[in-house]
Amino acid sequence: MRGLLVRLLYALGLPAVLVAVWWVASEGSTDVYRPPLRTILTAFPDVWTADRWRGDVLPSVLRLLAGYALAAGAGIALGTLIGSHRRVRAVCEPVLEFLRAVPPPVLVPVIMLFAGIGDTMKIMVIACGCVWPVLLNTVEGVRAVDPVAAETARSYGITGAARLRDVVLPSAGPQIFAGLRQALSIGIILMVISEMFAASNGLGFTIVQFQRGFAIPGMWTGILLLGLLGFVLSLLFQLAERRVLGWYHGLRATTRRSP
Amino acid sequence: MLDVRGLKKVYESSGRRIEAVRDLTFTVEAGELVCLVGPSGCGKTTLLKCVGGLLAPTAGQVALAGRTVAGPPPGMAFVFQEYGRSLFPWMRVGRNVELPLKQKGLGKDRRRELVADALESVGLADAAGAYPWQLSGGMQQRVAIARALAYEPEVLLMDEPFAAVDAQTRADLEDLVRRLWRERGITVLFVTHDIDEAVYLGERVIVLSASPTVVQEQLKVDLPAERDQLHTRVAPRFAELRTHVYAQIQAAKRGTAAMVDRAGEGTSKGA
């Protein structure tokens, strides 16, 4: 209990200090573009009404989740395929390096051309950006399966789907999750960007609307909300990771104790 | 039971040709415990992998109960030296033991029975819920042995299984192997570089030459079936046998050195 309190104190200490500094420094500011934090926080409940949550936040989050899920599925599937076959890898690697080097936001105008400006476009933009870290990390993870583990599997006749499910994917798990983690932050960025180009709702759209309408405190509340959203998502991600990779953290803790 | 005839394995990589195993012929009868011992780097692991169907021999053949081995046969179970890497760290002990059985298509009840029985007989009945990395090295190797037992193999292949555990654990594990072999009547092919271990464990010791490997000598171990660390190891006959095997291995090393000099290659080294 006490340990938990101390940890909570550590975790919340710096944010509290930063908010306090912002609060004090902005207090009494008359600059229209930098309103006092007090004004921003007062505006928050007025701006983010139930309607806005339903009409803007929810669609954004759903598009993010859809794009992210697509990227995760495609990235892991393709990555496993490429990682397990040397020839496929030799053929694909140069192309992958090129595609990965293209900054995903630049895809927005391109994807708009054939996917329109609806949800499909935004989900595709998110998916196209998120897929790379998942894909490349999966390739590396699958390649790095321990040769002894692979031979053990072979000697016990563990092949095909069972080998994939029980040996290859769990063994690549830590790396796949590293890719998924990177993809999550990329996804949030692309969610916002895709809504800034052409949209009629969403968090990014709302923030740009506020900025264009000189509703500066409203704009700031949107940015705060985005930060909070990112924070909550990464927290959920960590929870999922702890669950799936519990064995890995335990193993690492053990090997660190006895080198 | 296990018939190895004219086995030869040559590795070829980037223009270099390494002859790890030259010509090996030996048999292991059903229910026998045979130890293969040879100087370090003499291709013991290569040999065992060929026997287990994990490597394809360059020439010669391996037959298990009359059927030629091409790929890992269901009648063989492998215990590797690197227990930490051979057990899957993402599965608990019980699932590690159970996984090969699932692949064999056994029913759930039968699997549970085999897993419990195998863990029981290696003295880890209550470790099924632990992760392998929560156990000590010796216990992990016990789990690997339990996994092999549960698989109900005709032949158990063990590749220097105790090379990485401490001496006391090693003695316990040796006795465990002896006991399991006597209780279950399985056929065991045990590879080691430890002469004492080979003599203590085996009913027969096959001494291998240095790489490129041939059979240097086959030796029947005429120690009583009932062996224990305290008395067997100080028995005069044990000392005679181990001295003999040691002399053979020294001769094997010298023999190869002379051969290499004559051939003027000097690069042959087993994997």
- Indicate the domain borders of chain A: 58-201
* Helix orientation angle between A169-197 and A107-115, rounded to the nearest 10 degrees: 80
Sign of CA dihedral A192, A198, A203, A204: positive
Bridge partners (DSSP) of residue B61 are B5
Mean pLDDT of A154-179: 94
Tell whether the model's pLDDT for residue B261 goes beyond 70: no
Note the pLDDT tens digit of each residue in B141-169: 999 999 999 999 999 999 999 988 888 99
pLDDT category of residue A113 using cuts at 50, 70 and 90: confident
CA B68 distance to own-chain centroid: 20
Q: What percent of chain B has pLDDT over 70?
A: 94
Residue B265 has pLDDT above 50, yes or no: no
In this structure, are residues A168 and A142 in contact, taking their beta carbons and an 8 Å threshold? Answer: yes
* Residue A144 touches chain B, beta carbons under 8 Å: no
* pTM for the full predicted model: 0.86
Chain B CB within 8 Å of residue A97 CB: no
Query: Which pLDDT score, from 0 to 100, does residue A258 have?
Result: 62
What pLDDT score was predicted for residue B213? Answer: 83
Query: What residue type is B75 in one-letter code?
Result: G
Alpha carbon of B232: minimum distance to chain A alpha carbons (Å): 34
Nearest to B240 by CA among B268, B264, B221: B221
Contact B77 A156 (CB under 8 A): yes
Best of B92, B133, B135, B154 to substitute, by most chain A Cβ atoms within 10 angstroms, is B133
pLDDT digits (tens, 9 = 90+) for B40-52: 777 888 889 999 9
pLDDT cut 90: percent of chain A above it: 60
Selecting from B76, B88, B151 the residue whose C-beta is nearest the C-beta of A167 gives B88
- B chain contacts of residue A251, beta-carbon cutoff 8 Å: 89, 131, 133
A-chain CB neighbours of B115 within 8 Å are none
Contacts of B201 (CB under 8 A, 6+ apart): B33, B35, B174, B177, B178, B190, B192
Residue-wise pLDDT for A122-152, tens only, equals 999 999 999 999 999 999 999 999 999 999 9
Neighbours of A134 (CB within 10 A): 30
Q: pLDDT tens digits for A190-236?
A: 999 999 887 888 899 999 999 999 889 999 999 999 999 999 999 99
- pLDDT in the model for residue B228: 87
At residue A259 the predicted structure's pLDDT band, cuts being 50, 70 and 90, is: low
Among B85, B103, B133, the residue with its CB nearest the CB of A156 is: B103
pLDDT at B252 over 70: yes
Reported confidence tier of residue A11, pLDDT bands at 50, 70, 90: confident
Overall fold of domain A58-201? MetI-like fold (1.10.3720)
How do residues A21-36 score in pLDDT, each as one tens digit?
A: 999 998 888 888 888 9
Contact flag B102-A162 (C-beta cutoff 8 Å): yes
Chain A neighbours among B 40-99 (CB < 8 Å)? 49, 52-54, 72, 74, 76-78, 80, 82, 85-91, 99
Mean pLDDT (whole number) for B204-212: 87
Calpha distance B151→B117 (Å, rounded): 11
The answer to whether A249 faces chain B, any CB pair under 8 Å, is no
Q: 3-class SS at B24?
A: strand
Opening angle at CA B182, ends B176 and B188, nearest 5: 75
Is the per-residue pLDDT at B227 higher than 80? yes
Contact yes or no for A170 and B72 at CB 8 A: no
Nearest to B103 among A162, A170, A250 (CB): A162
Average pLDDT over residues B123-134: 93
| Rounded Cα distance, B260 and B266, in Å | 5
Interchain CB contact of A166 with B (< 8 Å): yes
In this complex, do A157 and B74 lie within 8 Å of one another by their Cβ atoms? yes
**What's the CA gap between B168 and B138, in Å, rounded?**
10
SS3 B152: coil
CA separation for the pair B162, B139 (Å, rounded): 11
> Are the Cβ atoms of A157 and B52 closer than 8 angstroms?
no
For chain B, percent of residues with pLDDT exceeding 90: 52
Please give the radius of gyration of chain B, using alpha carbons only, rounded to the nearest integer: 19
pLDDT, residue A23, reads 92
Q: Domain spanning B2-75+155-263 has what CATH number?
A: 3.40.50.300
User: Does any CB of chain B come closer than 8 Å to the CB of residue A251?
Assistant: yes
Residues of chain B with CATH 3.40.50.300: 2-75+155-263
User: Could you give the C-alpha distances from B159 to A23, A75, B87, B162, in angstroms and in order?
Assistant: 68, 38, 15, 9
- Number of residues in chain B: 271
What's residue B262's pLDDT? 38
Give the pLDDT mean for B212-219. Answer: 86
Task: Give yes or no for a contact between B172 and B179, defined as CB atoms under 8 angstroms apart.
Answer: no
Q: Does A259 touch chain B (CB under 8 A)?
A: no
Chains A and B form CB pairs within 8 A to the count of 73
Count other C-beta atoms under 10 Å from residue A95's C-beta.
Answer: 9
